[in-house]
Amino acid sequence: MSNKFSNMFPWPEDDFSQYGAVEQKAIGKIQQHVGKVMDRNWVSIPHVTHHDDIDITAIEQRRKDWNSANPEQKVSILPCLVKAAVEVLKQYPKFNCSLSADGSTVTQKSYYHMGIAVDVESGLLVPVVRDCDVKSVTEIAADINDMSTRAKTKGLPMSDMSGGCFTLSSLGHIGGTGFTPIINAPEVAILGVCKARQVVSLDAKGQVESRLMLPLSLSYDHRVINGADAARFMVAFSEALERVEFS
Ligand code: CAO
């Protein structure tokens, strides 16, 4: 059967050794699998990525206060972002559904299992933290720590990487101002997080002030979600983050 790719030029194989010294290395099984999943998701989902910077000055101050008062239960910004995402999934349930293979129905979910992209040596794993709606920020932080440690040391069973509703992919500890995260099908959206930075701006009275801004990139499946939904998601996300309680 012909499809939209049947007219494509073949992959440009080349003998690189004619240009200089080269070495061929095998790609590990996990990365090969991840590559195939990425390939399928990238070519079969019409992705759009909505970028926004949100003001995290207040929540970061509250997080620092919490960490100083609770050195045994320190949290990074990531579990707070998970908690805010759950609130927005409740507000905009379109982001918590899955599209059928033929595109004719969506399955609406009323549970909140959140995928967290974890960078491991063998590839990229996405453990799923279950029932984030009923877990506290510190419980979510503990689950992320546990799963990312296991992912980085002995790997994870498929049961720990299935059933996710929505994924967060944080490069915040490294850098970046934005990227296009690939949707983790059958989910319909994924939130990419880059490094927070101080930005000088004018307040309502025209006074210069410095605010801590977090760059976010929301990729969504345009068969299910429209641009206005994504813009609303981001505004609601920023508001939900302000309401996150530490416990
Ligand atoms: N802006 C600024 N600093 C940030 C930040 C952000 N958005 N996010 C995290 N940081 C800081 C943390 O606060 C921490 O600093 P301190 O040690 O001073 O507290 C430091 O960066 C390290 O954070 P972390 O990585 O230990 O914790 P995390 O909760 O942010 O992330 C994990 C955990 C497992 C998700 C992360 O280590 C990881 O593997 N991320 C990679 C995901 C990835 O590869 N995504 C791309 C997928 S597409 O190919």
Note the pLDDT tens digit of each residue in 156-214.
Answer: 999 999 999 999 999 999 999 999 999 999 999 999 999 999 999 999 999 999 999 99
Q: Ligand 1: which residues within 6 Å by Cβ?
A: 76-78, 116-119, 124, 148, 169-173, 181, 193, 195-196, 214
Residues 6+ apart with CB under 8 A from 220: 47, 48, 49, 50, 95, 183, 188, 189, 229, 230
- Return the pLDDT at 2: 66
Please list the active-site residues.
222
Give residue 225 CA to ligand 1 midpoint distance, Å.
28
Query: Is 96 exposed, middle or buried, given 0-12, 13-18 or 19+ CB atoms closer than 10 A?
Result: buried
* Interval 71-86: pLDDT, tens: 999 999 999 999 999 9
Q: Specify the residue with its C-alpha closest to ligand 1, atom 46.
A: 169
Give residue 96 CA to ligand 1 midpoint distance, Å.
24
Give residue 176 CA to ligand 1 midpoint distance, Å.
12
Q: Specify the residue with its C-alpha closest to ligand 1, atom 27.
A: 76
Pairing of strands 128-129, 114-116: antiparallel
**The ligand 1 atom nearest the CA atom of 195:** 1
Domain ranges of the chain: 47-242
Give the span between the Cα atoms of 211 and 198, in whole angstroms. Answer: 5
Instruction: Fold for 47-242, please state it.
Output: Chloramphenicol Acetyltransferase (3.30.559)
Task: Tell me which H or E stretch contains 229.
Answer: helix 227-243
Give the span between the Cα atoms of 146 and 151, in whole angstroms. Answer: 9
Give the span between the Cα atoms of 146 and 150, in whole angstroms. Answer: 6
* Interval 219-239: pLDDT, tens: 999 999 999 999 999 999 999
Pocket test for ligand 1, best of 47, 75, 82, 173 (most atoms within 8 A of CB): 173
Local confidence band at 1 (pLDDT 50, 70, 90 cut-offs): low
- Return the pLDDT at 6: 83
Give residue 169 CA to ligand 1 midpoint distance, Å.
9
**Token output for 229:** 């939904």
Q: Specify the residue with its C-alpha closest to ligand 1, atom 7.
A: 172
Helix (H, G, I), strand (E, B) or coil at 41: helix
**Token output for 117:** 């992209």
Task: Tell me which H or E stretch contains 167.
Answer: strand 166-170
β-sheet bridge partners, residue 167: 115, 190
* Interval 94-139: pLDDT, tens: 999 999 999 999 999 999 999 999 999 888 999 999 999 999 999 9
